[in-house]
A and B are shown apart, each in its own frame.
Chain A
């Protein structure tokens, strides 16, 4: 990769002394230069973006700036998903830049994606000059207004003097409490205006004070409930991963002897090889997870928000359970599921406190019962010698990478097969759009993850539909030699939609045929990226090995069976015990 981090200490993420001193100088500089200096001071070494009239002062300030790395994507959606992938892979704040109007509106899907999954991103948009705001000027859009429902907070900067403070605040808000995207809209005249650069050291935002330390009494209540429970269950979500609480969760589960199910975003937050791990619950969750949910007497939700893809029909969800809910966002408690034991705080701190006094539940028989369900209905599929099965491809990737890769997915059947058949070992090793379910996310997010970890293996698994939503970012991989392994599970249809039409709409297949898709190998080659194709098991193994042995980016087109379905499946509007099991039936 040609882009390298020159100025930050890789180990600490902090700027080295000389550069920091240089950046902190109270020079009279433009808003654009303030922005770049502030970003560097926040420890940002890579941003993703796309220029245009309203951000030209900012791009001018980047010109020849050796400290600042900017990646030009081919679409603003690519930029924000890349920033998102960077943030999810590292836990740091991702940054992207776009111009006013169409540039800014092209970010909307990515902002909503990050918002739904609580990903810390700072989004910088340009706007028309202050004097033109509200006049329907060329390329004007009220981006702060448009994005209000999908940002944690936003700023329209009216005075260049406010800029350093606003950037500090934006980073603070994005990365603390329940994380999320923050937008800073900078009118063109503000990015041009000059003022003395005064870096704000301390920030205090009245009205923003996330509770991180839990109420001791609630933690005690939780532990008491654990001791009394005979069928306890932990539901661990993305909050565990974001809080870096994997170790604490492991300790808590082992001390209390409580089985663990992990949501899609929680995958990797608990080692999938552990005997207490039951699987993923929900629409395409395991039989054991869903059955455990429906039979537990104590459900402890940790950093999970009871999304309807997990609970399915709320009325009838976990009907016999007392519910404890640990979350840093108090508004999640009681939002969907009535809570008996609320516990507001940073998941890691809550678990640390709980671990000091945790005693085992009376769960031995229950663990045995769950083990029985796991044995009886493991995830499985009918393999085929004549056709390539998508599940086989995912299993192969899982086995060869041994859980050590960062895997990003797009949205659809392949996403669920990754969730089911890839064995996750580490937190932040799965990057996927859970809450919004954004097609087009998988590939550009892998670029961001790979920029953050140039030496790690990053595998991006996509459907042939979703890949075509951001395929143009192949140019970015090619030009910077970003070695993402781009897997396409090519079933020639919008697979997940086909599955719904087959099962729910009486097999009336309507507009799911992707005929007219490009030859993905040639498409890759047209961008100067290596392309490989496999249509059976042997070719699949060979192509995958070749991809792994290739130092740069590779597209591997796995042509799989068209009409494979994801099972188990719980249909919308039904409860978790009404699972379609596929081959078992």
Chain B
């Protein structure tokens, strides 16, 4: 079976140690983590983790079953089996002497990104989108010289109502 990228949503009790339990499980059982994000959910006391992982269908099934064994895990959903919205945010600080700035702004505009800071010789660009878009943006900005790059990892949600 082929290895695919999967985006999994995990609803968990907002308890100390939960992130360690979940990420520890992945490490210990040899499951792969491409990215993991955690934040508040719609319900007080519960957090939602979005985990992007690579694996075949069997691995995905084991991931879900092993996650359910954790007492603090309430719901596991494979988002990528449905049409979904997946977004990541990146902050990219690049070298930007005044004379190249117009050029950079051109790139930023095409990507509907934005400039959130300008220093004497640098700029911070903020970009939101799916991971492909962010990678493309990074590629385009590389020639100017990337000083620092920080990505949030993916958060995601299924489109519409899934029954």
Interface residues of A (CB under 8 A from B): 144-145, 148-149, 152-154, 156, 173, 205-208, 329-331, 333-335
Q: A125 CA to B73 CA in the complex, in Å?
A: 24
Asked if A148 meets B65 with Cβ closer than 8 Å, knowing A156-B17, A173-B71, A207-B71, the reply is: no
Asked if A145 meets B17 with Cβ closer than 8 Å, knowing A331-B65, A334-B58, A334-B61, the reply is: yes
Q: Which residues of B contact A208 (CB under 8 A)?
A: 71
- Residues 10-23 of chain B, each 1 if its beta carbon lies under 8 Å from chain A, else 0: 00110011001100
Q: Shortest distance in angstroms between B143's beta carbon and chain A's nearest beta carbon?
A: 44
Q: Which residues of A contact B73 (CB under 8 A)?
A: 207
- Contact among A156, A206, A333 with B16 in the assembled complex (CB-CB below 8 Å): A156
Give me 16 A-to-B residue pairs in the complex whose CB atoms sit less than 8 angstroms apart, sorted by A's number: A144-B17, A145-B20, A148-B17, A148-B20, A148-B21, A148-B24, A149-B24, A152-B71, A153-B71, A156-B16, A207-B12, A207-B73, A207-B74, A330-B68, A333-B65, A334-B62
Q: Shortest distance in angstroms between B68's beta carbon and chain A's nearest beta carbon?
A: 7
Asked if A331 meets B68 with Cβ closer than 8 Å, knowing A149-B28, A207-B73, the reply is: yes
Q: Which residues of A contact B12 (CB under 8 A)?
A: 207
- B10-48 with Cβ < 8 A to chain A: 12-13, 16-17, 20-21, 24, 28
Does B72 sit within 8 A of A, measured CB to CB? yes
Taking CB as reference atom, which chain A residue is nearest B12? A207
Q: A265 CA to B44 CA in the complex, in Å?
A: 43
Supplied contacts A149-B28, A154-B17, 7 more A-B pairs, CB within 8 Å: A145-B17, A148-B17, A148-B24, A149-B24, A156-B17, A208-B71, A335-B62
Q: Shortest distance in angstroms between B75's beta carbon and chain A's nearest beta carbon?
A: 8
Q: Shortest distance in angstroms between B138's beta carbon and chain A's nearest beta carbon?
A: 35
Q: A336 CA to B13 CA in the complex, in Å?
A: 30
Taking CB as reference atom, which chain B residue is nearest A182? B71
Q: A329 CA to B70 CA in the complex, in Å?
A: 12
Does B69 sit within 8 A of A, measured CB to CB? yes
Does B4 sit within 8 A of A, measured CB to CB? no
- B123-146 with Cβ < 8 A to chain A: none
Contact A207 B69, beta carbon cutoff 8 Å: no
- Contact among B20, B24, B74 with A206 in the assembled complex (CB-CB below 8 Å): B74
- Nearest first, the 5 closest Cβ-Cβ pairs linking A and B are A331-B65, A207-B74, A153-B71, A208-B71, A331-B66
Q: Which residues of B contact A148 (CB under 8 A)?
A: 17, 20-21, 24
Total A-B pairs, Cβ < 8 A: 42
Taking CB as reference atom, which chain A residue is nearest B11? A207
Q: Which residues of B contact A173 (CB under 8 A)?
A: 71
Q: A333 CA to B68 CA in the complex, in Å?
A: 13
Q: Which residues of A contact B68 (CB under 8 A)?
A: 330-331
Taking CB as reference atom, which chain A residue is nearest B28? A149
Taking CB as reference atom, which chain B residue is nearest A150? B28
Q: A335 CA to B63 CA in the complex, in Å?
A: 10
Q: Which residues of B contact A145 (CB under 8 A)?
A: 17, 20
Q: Which residues of B contact A156 (CB under 8 A)?
A: 16-17
Q: Which residues of B contact A333 (CB under 8 A)?
A: 65
Q: Shortest distance in angstroms between B12's beta carbon and chain A's nearest beta carbon?
A: 8
Q: Shortest distance in angstroms between A141's beta carbon and chain B's nearest beta carbon?
A: 15
Q: A153 CA to B71 CA in the complex, in Å?
A: 7
Q: Which residues of B contact A205 (CB under 8 A)?
A: 71
Q: Which residues of B contact A335 (CB under 8 A)?
A: 62
Q: Shortest distance in angstroms between B35's beta carbon and chain A's nearest beta carbon?
A: 22
Taking CB as reference atom, which chain A residue is nearest B71? A153
Q: Which residues of A contact B71 (CB under 8 A)?
A: 152-153, 173, 205, 207-208
Contact B17 A330, beta carbon cutoff 8 Å: no
Contact B24 A331, beta carbon cutoff 8 Å: no
- Contact among A144, A207, A331 with B62 in the assembled complex (CB-CB below 8 Å): A331
Q: Which residues of A contact B70 (CB under 8 A)?
A: 153, 207
- B44-88 with Cβ < 8 A to chain A: 58, 61-62, 65-66, 68-75
Q: Which residues of A contact B72 (CB under 8 A)?
A: 207
Contact B17 A329, beta carbon cutoff 8 Å: no
Contact A207 B13, beta carbon cutoff 8 Å: yes
Q: Which residues of B contact A330 (CB under 8 A)?
A: 65, 68
Q: Which residues of A contact B21 (CB under 8 A)?
A: 148
Q: Which residues of A contact B65 (CB under 8 A)?
A: 330-331, 333
Q: A207 CA to B24 CA in the complex, in Å?
A: 19
Q: A431 CA to B134 CA in the complex, in Å?
A: 57
Q: A329 CA to B75 CA in the complex, in Å?
A: 17
Q: A145 CA to B19 CA in the complex, in Å?
A: 11
For A149, A156, A333, the residue with the greatest tally of chain B CB atoms inside 10 Å of its CB is A149
Q: Which residues of A contact B17 (CB under 8 A)?
A: 144-145, 148, 154, 156
Q: A329 CA to B13 CA in the complex, in Å?
A: 21
Q: A116 CA to B74 CA in the complex, in Å?
A: 24
Q: Which residues of A contact B20 (CB under 8 A)?
A: 145, 148
Taking CB as reference atom, which chain A residue is nearest B65? A331
Q: Which residues of B contact A152 (CB under 8 A)?
A: 69, 71
Q: Shortest distance in angstroms between A68's beta carbon and chain B's nearest beta carbon?
A: 28
Q: Shortest distance in angstroms between A385's beta carbon and chain B's nearest beta carbon?
A: 52
Taking CB as reference atom, which chain B residue is nearest A205? B71
Q: A208 CA to B75 CA in the complex, in Å?
A: 11
Q: Which residues of A contact B69 (CB under 8 A)?
A: 152, 329, 331
Q: A174 CA to B66 CA in the complex, in Å?
A: 17
Q: A333 CA to B64 CA in the complex, in Å?
A: 12
Q: A208 CA to B66 CA in the complex, in Å?
A: 13
Q: Shortest distance in angstroms between B139's beta carbon and chain A's nearest beta carbon?
A: 39
Q: A93 CA to B93 CA in the complex, in Å?
A: 57
Q: Shortest distance in angstroms between B73's beta carbon and chain A's nearest beta carbon?
A: 6
Q: A335 CA to B71 CA in the complex, in Å?
A: 20
Q: A144 CA to B72 CA in the complex, in Å?
A: 14
Q: A173 CA to B74 CA in the complex, in Å?
A: 15
For B58, B69, B73, the residue with the greatest tally of chain A CB atoms inside 10 Å of its CB is B69
Taking CB as reference atom, which chain B residue is nearest A331? B65
Q: A208 CA to B67 CA in the complex, in Å?
A: 12
Q: A329 CA to B73 CA in the complex, in Å?
A: 15
Q: Shortest distance in angstroms between B69's beta carbon and chain A's nearest beta carbon?
A: 6
Q: Which residues of B contact A154 (CB under 8 A)?
A: 17
Q: Which residues of A contact B62 (CB under 8 A)?
A: 331, 334-335
Q: A329 CA to B68 CA in the complex, in Å?
A: 10
Q: Shortest distance in angstroms between B34's beta carbon and chain A's nearest beta carbon?
A: 22
Q: A330 CA to B76 CA in the complex, in Å?
A: 14
Taking CB as reference atom, which chain B residue is nearest A144? B17
Q: Shortest distance in angstroms between B7's beta carbon and chain A's nearest beta carbon?
A: 21
Taking CB as reference atom, which chain A residue is nearest B25? A149
Taking CB as reference atom, which chain A residue is nearest B73? A207
Q: A538 CA to B69 CA in the complex, in Å?
A: 53
Q: A144 CA to B21 CA in the complex, in Å?
A: 10
Q: Shortest distance in angstroms between B91's beta carbon and chain A's nearest beta carbon?
A: 30
Q: Which residues of A contact B75 (CB under 8 A)?
A: 207
